[in-house]
Structure 1
């Protein structure tokens, strides 16, 4: 490969949903940009974006109880739920734009309509859910949400979960039909296919080993071809590090001041998948419960209808696991190598402050299959061990940093963009709601890293994501207009959707 081919305007490290989204947006905003994508694996979407490595939930706060909290006065704070929902609406709008333009096709291959539900048991949690419903249903973003504590109604919504259930305590659920199941692996592959057709270089089996600033202000990357063993050099004035769990190591190698003091803690996920297709047909929803007391937010249990390769499946989880790897296909030395002099004290403080998390992970690791099935029976009372297999999902690296509110060594849940002051490099760290809000996150990257071009790009961005910069929660008419438009474009009208027959079977 000649030196000329090794230079680009933009280098994207990692072929996951984040790089795919940013690359696609930049190509729409500036079609002449030269873009190189460097990926260690043999194809896009092999790590966290892969459909088997995440829950596939289109996170819009419709069912995730950890996005709403009860205040000291008993009222419910829905501010985070509103923020996540508005960000997911940007994703729906951008995907719809791509479909309308013919840049990606067959949206049913990556997004399907699946009702989102919250399910609780016990008097205290039922009272919480009802207050949550009252607070959320008053907001236009959550229009159409239903609440019920009547067993007969719940049996209509979730027949598999209500069968053989002992009704010895109050139960309740909320339901909203506008939820989605998103195959982020399929979407990632679609976006990169489009990028390749638009002229981007897709280079696989490339492991980025180091990155340094050159005298002309560009970034030079030292890259090893893992197939041939050859060392290659690539340079660009802008680099995006979207390497999932591998982003922290590369951020540290960049040496930018904004990356100092930041650490990471890896948590793996495991799901149980139902191998009985008849049982899978009897459930049509993503049903989220409440995390156990002392458990971290990412441990919220949920029973999910999934559509992968057009086929329905049923998953339950997640169960937390631990490995020092930062990537599913990473190294056991990843955690150790991430500890640097500048983040050592922060990491030690995090270890001391999060002993409960350590205890929780140890307990999770020691669970037998039967104990996991026993947890599943909180959702499916008659679940049989032989009908369920355990699969290992992706790795998530939670951010550890010093904050004003949490103090030294705060373990953060969520995603965060770390960028250099001059905007020449940006890295994405963290996990959920991640992929669902990729468009909002990448718009933030564009805002920080391309400030000089932003004014000229605003009109195009408004075409791609009409509600960018608008508080949808304060514009009910616009919420309904955009929701109807994106539902039609993405084929999410259940009355005409391929999932309709499946839905009728599940709830009959």
Structure 2
């Protein structure tokens, strides 16, 4: 064991998009703070942030039907869609600030303009989509959205999906051109390159084994070098646990009361990928359908154009899978070792409540390639097996907690920040919409954990994010101005030529 000990202001655990975002924000707000990062893999952005481990959707609720629900009176509740859209606008503003300040370059390497569409079949679903369109299109955040149930118009929009379609049931779609495809892996690597240039101490192949509070109120981390096996101790005033699925175990080790009675349930994802240029050239959009009855929200089927490594490809999925690992590179004992005396009842209650989810996951795991092709053919009737391969996506650990609304052992499909009462440590748990709302979520961490600094930091916050503290929906002129400027800075104003 090494005797080396270091003291720093901030420690970030995990080199994904969340730590990258928080580190970049803090470096702009307080450049003289010392920041250290510990990542167990050999480079940044290799787990959930990696471009092949997520769908790359800039989640702004433009096409995701699960963010809008039908109320008992038949009207459509768009409040969640508004929140998520505003949060994505915050990310876009921050990325624009970084480009304009020359802190990162070549935005086309991480973000591309791409229409976002919702597609439904059946009379009831078409009626719902039209109501959803009417509710959203009256809102300035969703300006420019179109609706059509005309097969000829749909053939213009989505030829690959519409050709050879023989079903007679009604079909409809909405389309909005201001959607995006985001390469979060590329963005994460850009941000860590920038942080490294700002003298942030980034340590790869370092696994955090333990976290405990010292007598003087600091946090001490026991960190193992995975190459040498040497263990070192590092202390900090503030710790952020941004280790994706690995965050729950580290939160439990911290012992803070806010982390008690919480658990996690891992769901893995599988996408089908097509790189045949003849097929890829026929589709240019992210098209989201409707989740099947009993399927969890993160299993909404979608057919996506992706821009990765200067190549255009198509992804379809996700198909859910199950592994007890909390990370792709995790342990088969992750789920079992996350069960503690304080969350045992919570976990058991969740198991009892979610038998339908368990059954769904079992069915998904058992699907053959041909069965998956049958689901794909609901989107692309002419799809050929030889054009499509599989890619295993990241592990998503859904939060399980006791809530007033859902009772004991409620499965939360979302992103959640858990922080100590004194703000000295925070952890990010959960999944979608995740990376798209990273800037909003990290601002929440800053507000919760550094309340004494927020007032002095506010002018800089507003410089980085012009809408900081303001509702864009209620300020359409500011929304238009920001939308125009961010689109210009990030290269989203005009369509790029398609990659070969």
TM-score class, shorter-chain normalisation, is over 0.9
Return the alpha-carbon distance in structure 2 between the equivalents of residues 281 and 195 of structure 1: 37
Q: Report the counterpart of residue 85 of structure 2 in structure 1.
A: 85
Cα distance in 2 between the residues matched to 1:233 and 1:375: 51
Give the Cα–Cα distance (whole angstroms) in 2 for the partners of residues 244 and 417 of structure 1.
12
Task: Provide the aligned length of Structure 1 versus Structure 2.
Answer: 500
Stretches of structure 1 lacking an aligned partner (at least 5 in a row): none
Say whether 1:290 aligns with 2:290: yes
Q: Which runs of 4+ in 1 moved over 3 A?
A: 1-5
Contact 2:350 2:411 in 1 (8 A): yes
- Where does residue 175 of structure 2 map in the other structure? 175
- How far apart in 2 are the matches of 1:12 and 1:123? 50
Secondary structure in structure 2 of the residue aligned to 1:187 = helix
**Alignment deviations for residues 130-153 of structure 1 (CA, whole Å, 9 cap, x no partner):** 000000000000000000000000
CA distance in 1, matches of 2:474, 2:316: 35
Equivalents in 2 of 1:468, 1:78: separation in Å?
A: 22
Superposed, 1:192-207 pairs within 5 Å as 192-207=192-207
Aligned to 1:308: 308
Q: Which residue number in structure 1 is paired with residue 234 of structure 2?
A: 234
Distance 1:299 1:501, change over 3 A: closer
The separation in 2 between residues aligned to 1:7 and 1:106, in whole angstroms, is 35
Partner residue in 2 for 1:13: 13
Q: 1:89 to 1:68 in 2, by over 3 A?
A: same
Instruction: Answer yes or no: is 1:53 the counterpart of 2:53.
Output: yes
Q: Which segment drifts farther, 163-172 or 332-341?
A: 163-172
Q: State the alpha-carbon separation in 1 of the partners of residues 212 and 202 from structure 2.
A: 22
**Partner residue, 1:211:** 211
TM-fit CA distance, 1:316: 0.1
Partner deviation per Cα, 1:335-368 (whole Å, 9 max, x = no partner): 0000000000000000000000000000000100
Query: Match of 1:378, SS?
Result: helix
Partner deviation per Cα, 1:144-180 (whole Å, 9 max, x = no partner): 0000000000010001111101141100000000000
Map of 2:497 onto structure 1: 500
User: Any stretches of 5+ residues in structure 2 without a counterpart?
Assistant: none
Contact 2:5 2:233 in 1 (8 A): no
By how many angstroms is 1:4 displaced?
7.8
- Counterpart position of 2:437: 437
1:22 matched to 2:22? The reply is yes
Give a deviation string over 1:302-327, Cα, whole Å, max 9, x none: 00000001211100000000000000
Partner SS for 1:436:
helix
Deviations 1:443-499 (A, max 9, x none): 0000011111111100000011111221111111111110000000000012xx4x2
Provide the C-alpha distance between the structure 2 equivalents of 1:382 and 1:3, rounded to a whole number of angstroms.
64
TM-score of the pair, normalised by structure 2 = 0.99
Instruction: With the length of structure 1 as denominator, give the TM-score of the two structures.
Output: 0.97
Offset, 1:501: 4.7
CA 1:113–1:5 in 2, change beyond 3 Å: closer, same or farther? farther
* Deviation (angstroms), 1:2: 9.2
Please list the CA deviations of residues 349-389 of structure 1 after superposition, one character each: whole Å capped at 9, or x if unmatched: 00000000000000000100000000001110000111101
Q: Secondary structure at the match of 1:161?
A: helix
Q: Does 1:363 align with 2:360?
A: no
| Equivalent in the alignment of 1:350 | 350
When structure 1 is superposed on structure 2, of 72-81 and 461-470 the one drifting more is 461-470
SS, match of residue 124 in structure 1: helix
Distance 2:241 2:341 in 1: 22
- Counterpart of 1:237 in 2: which secondary structure? strand
* Corresponding residue of 1:416: 416
Instruction: Tell me which residue corresponds to 1:405.
Output: 405
The match for 2:104 is: 104
How far the C-alpha of 1:277 sits from its partner, in A, is 1.8
Structure 2 Cα separation of the partners of residues 501 and 411 of structure 1: 40
- Separation in 2, partners of 1:109, 1:185: 10
**In the aligned structure 2, how far is the partner of 1:69 from the partner of 1:170?**
21
CA contact (8 A) 2:397 2:431 kept: yes
Deviations 1:39-69 (A, max 9, x none): 0000000000000000000000000000000
Change (3 A) 1:501 1:16: closer
Q: Is residue 198 of structure 2 the alignment partner of residue 223 of structure 1? A: no
Aligned pairs for 1:246-395 within 5 A: 246-395=246-395
Deviation at 1:500, TM superposition (A): 3.4
| Alpha-carbon distance in 1 for matches of 2:311, 2:81 | 30
- Whether the aligned pair in 1 keeps the contact of 2:114 and 2:286 (CA below 8 Å) is yes
Distance 1:2 1:27 in 2: 29
Secondary structure of 1:332's aligned partner: coil
Distance 1:69 1:364 in 2: 25
Does the 8 A contact of 2:4 with 2:232 survive in 1?
no
On the 8 A contact 2:120/2:173 being kept in 1, the answer is: yes
**Cα distance between partner residues in 1 of 2:264 and 2:167:** 43
Counterparts in 2 of 1:80-159, with a 5 A limit? 80-159=80-159
Aligned-pair CA distance for 1:3 = 7.3
Aligned residue for 2:8, secondary structure, equals coil
Structure 1 distance, partners of 2:29, 2:96, is: 16
CA distance in 2, matches of 1:186, 1:465: 22
SS in 2 for 1:446: helix
